[in-house]
A and B are shown apart, each in its own frame.
Chain A
Amino acid sequence: MLSVTDLDAYYGQFHVLHKMSCTVNEGEVVVLLGPNGHGKSTLLKSICGLVPRVNGAIHYKGMEISKMPAEKLVNKGVIYIAENRELFGDMTVLENLKLGAYSRNARKAEKKNLADVFSLFPRLAERKKQLAATMSGGEARMLAIARGLMSNADFLCIDEPSLGLQPNLRVEVFNIIKEINRQGKSILLVEQNIPQIADLADRIYVLEEGRITFEGDAETAIRDDHLKEIFLGM
């Protein structure tokens, strides 16, 4: 579904990704692990057309998309769900969701997606009229994911959805991601929480200093000594 080949990306003056390649197959959840500041978010943003300077090839459903701006990509079914949420604080939950369905592709399915989103996140339905800025961290995270789903995307790039959440909310977020995947969406996920990832990820990549240093399934990843060293300090 998605293949990234020899991608170089820059964050301002910094050369962040170095000729890196990865793939996501249809229906998969692929997790990107790696220390902070090594290019995981930049990869997601590059795929979603949010990084101005990229070299290399990104193919999505057979189309070359590396030079496409975000507004076109959203219309083709690729959406970025930001780590810092990027909600519209002075607007209500409902307005945020409606803006999630701004692209032409999403408009047709707006009603259906809104119903789906509300059944997935009943708490958002109760808080339709609340301003996004007044929500708790966990609710705001849910809203960010829900807004992403409103875009009618088939391919979601989710950036550290569990960041800053307490353990029970983390479990809830991971369950929801699992459910979204079960409904047929392909997902590329950036995460740090190894234990929860194990039963979520179909495959794992590890990104260090802008290069892929490990690729394999979750089982292998957990047994890998080098990864233990990086993430668990063992």
Chain B
Amino acid sequence: MLEYFDVFISGLTNGSVYALMAVGLTLVYGVSRAFNFAYGSFFSLGGYIAWVFMMFLGLRGGYIMVFILSIPLLMGFGYFTEKLIVAPLRKRSDWEVKVMMITLGLALFMDNGYQVIFGPRMKSLPPMMEGAMAVGDTFIANQDIMIFVLSITGILAFRWVLNNTRIGMAVRAVAQNPAGAQIVGIPKDRIFAATFGISTVMVGAGGILLAQKYFVSPMGGWDILVKSWVITAFGGMGSIRGGLYAAFILGMLEAFVGYWFGLNWVLFALFGVLLTTLAIRPQGLMGKWG
């Protein structure tokens, strides 16, 4: 029985980070209808930024300093990426497909860039917290608790901003009715870039959180890209609540399938669930039509 508890904790920890990242992806889709295929490479970017700060520059202050420094970096990177390569396409016909192509190109460029700059070998990061907490007859690694707490804090902070601040209201307005948002004088283009920036922070933070458990490697983002898309499609395109549920369901599924059948079957199972869901409910768990 005890090993199931460990598997459950692992599912919960990964699920929370997936939730953080899926919310970021679904946000960009929900607000600006853009598909970001470089999302996985932004995940690796977070990991590499943390590695540069901690291992390469030997920065003091641990993960707190890493987050303080990398959040503005990631935000700026996302913001200007949108301004430079996504926004110009928006004026053209079929821009959604063109955005997929250009972000896919960006992903290849970034991943090969990592390989050139950091080499093909994996980088490891120290755990956020050593030790473990006793729970009955078993233990939960403090690291897992930290990952869970920080991911959930990130999601709650995001929710708070969305519901309680002027910019959050503007983001929801653009998502619900871009024409209406333009009429009341919301600078739509700046909101698009800002949401891209926020989503980059969310996936980059996910990269930092998971790097200590799964290493950082140049091509490590593809797995995350696939999982984030599966979660987003499974939860319902553009639905934040749906993405949250989907992330935890798939996190658990991954942990238990990996435990019972081996890691090779994880993606198989994820796509099995996705295809079944989409066959019965094409809009995903909580998505809306159109």
A-to-B contact residues, CB < 8 Å: 48, 50, 69-71, 73-75, 79-80, 82, 86-91, 95, 98-100, 102-103, 106, 147, 151
Q: Which of B216-260 contact A (CB under 8 A)?
A: none
Q: Which residues from chain B contact A91 at a C-beta distance below 8 Å?
A: 169, 172-173, 176
Interface-forming stretch among B39-47, B139-147, B182-190?
Answer: B182-190
What per-residue 1/0 map shows which CB atoms of B151-173 lie under 8 Å from chain A?
00000000000000010011011
The answer to whether B180 touches A86 (Cβ under 8 A) is yes
Most A CB within 10 A of own CB, among B169, B181, B184? B184
The 6 A-B pairs of least Cβ separation, nearest first, read: A74-B185, A86-B180, A103-B185, A71-B185, A71-B187, A88-B176
B190 smallest CB distance to A (angstroms)? 9
A98 with B176: CB separation less than 8 A: no
CA A98 to CA B185, docked complex, whole Å: 12
Tell me, in angstroms, the Cα distance from A56 to B14 when the chains sit together.
Answer: 58
Q: Determine which residue in A50, A71, A151 has the highest number of CB atoms from chain B within 10 A of its CB, and name it.
A: A71
Which of the four size classes fits the interface of chain B? Answer: 10 to 19
CB proximity of B128 to chain A, nearest CB, Å: 37
CB distance from A11 to the nearest CB of B (A): 14
Does B177 sit at the interface, judged by CB under 8 A?
yes
A156 to chain B, nearest CB (A): 12
Question: What residues make up the interface of B, taking CB atoms closer than 8 Å to A?
Answer: 166, 169-170, 172-173, 176-177, 179-187
Could you tell me if A102 and B170 are in contact, using CB atoms closer than 8 angstroms?
A: yes
Q: Please state if B184 and A147 are interface contacts (CB–CB under 8 Å).
A: yes
Closest to A75 in B: B185
Give A103 to B186 CA distance when docked, in angstroms.
Answer: 7
With A95-B169, A102-B166, A102-B170 as given contacts, are A87 and B185 in contact (CB-CB < 8 Å)? no
A90 and B176: CB pair below 8 A?
yes
- Cα distance, A79 to B169, chains bound together (Å): 20
B180 contacts across to A, CB distance below 8 A: 82, 86-88
Given A91-B172, A98-B169, residue A71 in contact with residue B177 (CB < 8 A): no
CB pair B184–A74 under 8 Å, yes or no, is yes
* Docked complex Cα distance between A106 and B166 (Å): 13
Closest to B186 in A: A102
B10–chain A nearest beta-carbon distance, Å: 36
Contacts of B176 in A (CB 8 A): 88-91
* Contact (Cβ within 8 A) A102 B185: yes
A-B contact pairs, 21 of them (CB 8 A): A50-B183, A69-B187, A70-B183, A70-B185, A74-B184, A79-B184, A80-B183, A82-B179, A86-B177, A87-B180, A88-B173, A88-B176, A88-B177, A89-B176, A91-B169, A91-B176, A99-B170, A99-B173, A99-B181, A99-B184, A102-B186
